[in-house]
Amino acid sequence: MKTKIILSGEDHEDEVKMIRMLKVDDVYIALDDICNELFRPARGYGYAGACHNIATNFFSESVPEAEREIRYDLVEALQAEFFRILEKYNIQLND
């Protein structure tokens, strides 16, 4: 699909909105990555890359069980808030 858009340059707000609209696919992919690479691993699926060492220490067996549970609860609360904000703007990642 090809679309030609001509901006007059007179209304800066319209230009900003258009640029945002054109980036919507990238934003969707980024949000999906946040969900799958940040929250999902913390709930038992494991991390990769730079987060691996941090998560390993954060959820380490050397951390007392009660504190580990609090940390899991924190991740769960952050994930819930993430999805609450998406829902507020009517954004569904699993469409």
- What's the pLDDT tens digit per position in 46-61? 666 666 666 667 767 7
Convert the pLDDT of each residue in 23-49 to its tens digit: 888 888 888 888 777 776 665 556 666
**Mean of the per-residue pLDDT values for the chain?**
78
Q: Taking a C-beta distance cutoff of 8 angstroms, is the pair 75, 39 a contact?
A: yes
**pTM as predicted:** 0.60
Query: What distances in angstroms separate CA 14 from CA 73, 88, 89, one per listed residue?
Result: 42, 23, 20
